Amino acid sequence: MATAKVSAPSEYDSLVEQAINQGTEDWGKIINLCDKFSAASIKKEEAARAIVKNISSHNINIALISVTILDGCFNNCGKEFQAACGTPLVLDELTRLLSLKVNTPVVVCNLIKKTIQSWVVDYGHYPHVTSIYKTYATWKEDGYEFPALTKNLPVTHLQSEQALEEADLKAAVAASLKDTQCKNASPVHPLSQSLYPLLNAETQGALSPSDSPSAAEPSERYVKALYTFEVMEEGELGFVAGDVIRLLDDQHLDWWKGEFNGSVGLFPANYVQRVERYSTPQHTCLPSTVNVFVIDELLQKLHLAQSSSQSSDFIENIEKLYERVVGQMKPIVDEYLEKVNRKEEELAALNALYCESTALHDQLVKESQIAFSVQPLSQTSSNNMSTDSLSFIS
């Protein structure tokens, strides 16, 4: 009679079991697990599955702590682990646990829904969390109840791109209609007779006075980065804190479109703040001082990356960040050198005056010495003449 093979616990199962701590919450062990699962050598999908399988435990404490551990790793183990939580194996298992057939304890179901909702609220605008966002939307359509939201759900990356494309199309239609009307010498035809009769409702809004090119806001608008934003997907625009980005489109709540250093892309709106129009906007992003500690830290990271087995893309990103930080500080150094040059010119002028004054002083001293040296000689001569005279008379 054949016996069923029982697979031995994997390394990830053992690590998760230690963090679960037999259903007793120990944040020290949970943080330790997050540190281990953050390592590059860890297979993030297997690690996520090792956590999720414990949520189905009949021990409620173990199930609840497993959800807490999954949430902790999601928030602290980086983008790759977040993407692993969005794989079908993980999401399908969570969906199965919420179904009535499984009879999962209500308290566990509520914690799962609360956790997924927090992921969507905090990270839903990132492309790698799109599958989690879709699962959350499906659960809501299926009638699952969630806690009340404390803030609006973010606009996803795909929604922002689609909305921007629609806005660009509307602007192009409006510009085309205006050009057509300007070229026609006859009275302006109604919009129903335009080149785009099916877009009347949209074009009327697009041609409203507030949106017309003559009444539009100045094309040169800028925002200043409050935080550093690293590019995660194609089409995004990266920058460091303090950079000033030319704003191209701000019609959407969460993602704006801008241009910086010759690149155009999307970036989170809450990473920047609006600034006034500047004739030379690059000067507004300058730090107040040259931060040598930042430069040293970047150099150390660059040397460490070059000496280790880091990818060429990672090293290139560090090099670009270093060049950007140094480039930001360059105008400060140039301004300081300009001040030094002015001081040098002033000192050179003062030195010339000093040399001239010294030469004049030496000349006056020499002339005075000559004047004083002549008088004793004349007195000596007169004295000698008087002596000779007396000798002659005698």
> What is the predicted pLDDT for the residue at 154?
61
To the question of pTM greater than 0.85 for the whole model, the response is no
User: Which pLDDT score is estimated for 280?
Assistant: 43
Model pLDDT, residue 228: 86
Check residue 300 and give its pLDDT. Answer: 72
pLDDT of 152: 64
Residue 267: both structure tokens together? 């970036």
In the prediction, which pLDDT does 387 show?
A: 54
Q: Other CB atoms closer than 10 Å to residue 40's CB: what's the count?
A: 9
What is the per-residue pLDDT for 128? Answer: 82
H-type helices in the chain, by residue range?
11-20, 27-37, 44-52, 60-76, 79-85, 88-98, 106-123, 130-141, 157-183, 200-206, 292-307, 312-393
Exposure string of 209-220, with b = 16+ CB inside 10 Å and e = fewer, is: eeeeeeeeeeee
Query: Could you say which residues of the chain have pLDDT below 50?
Result: 1-6, 157, 183, 185-218, 278-286, 377-378, 390, 392-394
Which residue's structure tokens are 């995004």? 236
